[in-house]
A = this chain, B = another copy of it.
């Protein structure tokens, strides 16, 4: 089968997969009163390194740095993270998840029910093949420009 046909067959499947995954993630986040952006920030802070400059967080969730101020304000007010001045460079403020924030992140991850069930239902060879394909795709998909 030609490359073009393979891609054409995969494209709509990938689109549906991404849409369904996001719905599941958003549902888990909203169940705890978090917006999509807030959940992304929190989960970013709960994968090592657990303290990150606000600037770095903006880069990771792909938004302008000025937005992080307000997002951090709201999450700090609810006790899920705190600001810490970096002693080495006093311009920089790191965001750090509080114990409450860490616990919430764990809950959100656990409550992606459909994603977890779908992945758990794969056979071992299917899971292995899926992991291999994703690992093959990511370098190209995560290329910068």
Residue total for A at the interface (Cβ-Cβ under 8 A): 51
Query: A141 with B122: in contact, given A10-B130, A14-B21, A129-B133 (CB under 8 Å)?
Result: no
This chain's copy number in the assembly: 2
Q: Which residues on B sit within 8 Å (CB–CB) of A62?
A: 23, 26
Residue of B nearest to A121 (CB): B140
Q: Which residues on B sit within 8 Å (CB–CB) of A145?
A: 27
Does A18 touch B at the CB level, under 8 Å?
yes
Interface of A is mostly: helix
Does A22 touch B at the CB level, under 8 Å?
yes
Report the bound CA distance from A135 to B119 in whole Å.
Answer: 12
Residue of B nearest to A118 (CB): B140
